[in-house]
Amino acid sequence: MRRLDLAIGIGGAAGQGIATPGDILARIFVRRGLHVNAYNAYQSIIRGGHIFLTLRTSDQPVLSQGDKIDVLMPLNQDTMNRHLKLMRAGSAVLFNSDTIKPGVVPDGVQLCPFSVKALAPTTRGDLVQNTLALAAVLRLIKVEFEILEEILTLQFRRKGAAAVAENVGVARAGYDYAATHFTALPFSLPDTGKRLAFFEGNQALAMGGAAAGVRFYCAYPMSPSSGVLHWMARHARQLGIMVRQVEDEIGVINMAIGAAHTGCRAMCATSGGGFALMSEALGAAAMMEIPVVCINVQRAGPATGVPTKTEQGDLWQVMGAGQGDYPRIIVAPTNIGDCFKVVPTLFNLVDKFQCPGIILSDLLLSEGRSSIDPAELDFNVPIDRGDVVGLNGDGPPVNGGFKRYLVTESGVSPRALPGTPGYVHVVATDEHDEDGVLISDEFTDPHKRQAIHEKRMRKMDGVLPLLAPPVLHGPADAHVTLVGWGSTEGVIREAMQQLAEAGIVANNLQIRWLVPLHAEAIVSILSRCRAVIIVENNYSGQFARYLRAETGIVAGGHIRKYDGEPFMPHHIVDGVTAILAGSTKRYVPVHEIQV
């Protein structure tokens, strides 16, 4: 049973300083060894609009943003009006009574008004209410004032002693006012004595690239993938990574392929619209057998779609990206820690099998943030560059020229990097023979074309045994099995806990490696399950169709969400309940709160 489960919601307009109190709270929590999950919902406009940050902490792993709010910090009237319905009994709403009118709250919810004019009459600045509210929150959850004082001192010391004193004074006023006027929440934050890290999925992907030995990264900024570029640019000089912002995604992928051709581990990231522009070049990488990794951070589409909202709508796009058949490896990380771990693994695979690799993330993962135990981050991962001439101690070729595309049983040919003495060869996007000589229309040799094409495609037979098959999580004899892929793992696992409390035993099969797919293992698992429901963040059930095509398995129910917001646990619980009761086979929840 969870001993601590605290969700804090901070809402306001862009520019009202929502991130700062969220960062301070998160820092306090992880310094006590508490787990944290954060999701920032915002609108797709350049300036203004509503922003709502949910920060949830617990002494046990936090799997999702949850269903309810324990402490609400509305920084404007809009937030007060929108989010009161999320408050649970025993919760509190802290607001500036000078500018915000209280809404009608459910029974058991404590309204905590404070006046900025009264508590900080001489202080100017739009963010005073944030400091007052933050201090009051910390008093409600019984965090010592000295901790906040230390953080504010560090934050404002560059502005001088006067700025530090002013902000600490404002915080002290809010803290003391809360102590005498508001009722503290009925728990205290524990301190496990262990510090955790806290970062977003895009940062984890970038750090995973650094651990994998990436030495070239390029991108065209595109939400929600831009965080990878920001991290890479910030740490490029320190880590020895060349980072380039390119004019468009066509240039990005071709520049990455060029870097990879020289033997440098190269990576790029984009979202669905940018990935569409990369498709032709991905096929070129496959034809030239150049290992390159591309990250597609999915957002709601089509076209420009809803740039700041999440969706799992690009599965079919990445599986069909490019013309013709070619081998590719596709992985969907299942949590923010996994974002770090998949990158080195994928690089080793694409180097070994000389083909493109695609990481399919989404906004929920990439812009969501989570606590991570630093011990789980291994920056000394094994690096396998595959069969590269020269790196493997080979001497000059004997008895003839080098055959870059030698037909082999495994489909993998020896690779020579440009400049390797004695290994001159042709690399181009046309079909070619073993030497790399192009097969033109005039001299097309059907036998050579068939042999080379089969050689490339045989690589996938070698990839599958190296991938860990999916594992059923939860009781084997459950009433229902929830199948998901990628980012839905956390919310499905939390929904399982709620279902258990309602007497419904559920388990979860979460798919991480999408291509190649462990079809036989999945069939073996699902054939023994009593009821199968597939959960995914898209309209058409892209994974359900893929699963049926690869395994013949037809799920008994589907829970799909495509309103731009991620699942909350109760959405899945409601869907499972409705499907098991026989009232529907396709449950489509919609977010109750407009964000």
Instruction: Give the pLDDT confidence score for residue 595 in this predicted structure.
Output: 83
Q: Which has the closest alpha carbon to 542: 466, 478, 486, 476?
A: 486
Instruction: Give the pLDDT confidence score for residue 422 in this predicted structure.
Output: 85
Segment 370-383, tens digit of pLDDT: 999 999 999 999 99
Per the prediction, the chain carries an average pLDDT of 94
3-state helix, strand, coil in the chain (%, to 5): 40, 20, 40
Q: What percent of the chain has a predicted confidence (pLDDT) above 70?
A: 98
The residues, ordered by sequence, that sit 6+ positions from 49 with a Cβ below 8 Å of its Cβ are: 13, 14, 42, 43
pLDDT at 459 over 80: yes
pLDDT at 416 over 70: yes
Q: What percent of the chain has a predicted confidence (pLDDT) above 90?
A: 88
Instruction: Give the pLDDT confidence score for residue 594 in this predicted structure.
Output: 80
Q: What's the CA gap between 219 and 345, in Å, rounded? A: 21
Mean pLDDT of 160-185: 95
* Choice between 540 and 104, residue whose per-residue pLDDT is larger: 540
Segment 77-110, tens digit of pLDDT: 999 999 998 999 999 999 999 999 999 998 899 9
What residues does 105 pair with on adjacent strands?
none
Q: Which has the closest alpha carbon to 355: 285, 425, 258, 262?
A: 285
pLDDT at 398 over 70: no
CA 566 remoteness from chain centre? 12
Instruction: Give the pLDDT confidence score for residue 171 in this predicted structure.
Output: 96
**Strands (DSSP E) along 417-492, which ranges?**
472-473, 480-485
> What letter would DSSP give residue 88?
E
Determine phi and psi for 475, rounding to 5 degrees: -60, 135
Mean pLDDT of 306-327: 96
Q: What's the CA gap between 572 and 582, in Å, rounded? A: 15
Q: How would residue 399 be classed by pLDDT, with cut points 50, 70 and 90?
A: low
Q: How would residue 1 be classed by pLDDT, with cut points 50, 70 and 90?
A: very low
Q: Which range is least confidently modeled, 286-295, 437-446, 566-575? A: 437-446
Q: What's the CA gap between 152 and 294, in Å, rounded? A: 40
Instruction: Give the pLDDT confidence score for residue 73 in this predicted structure.
Output: 97
Q: How would residue 478 be classed by pLDDT, with cut points 50, 70 and 90?
A: very high
The residues, ordered by sequence, that sit 6+ positions from 179 with a Cβ below 8 Å of its Cβ are: 139
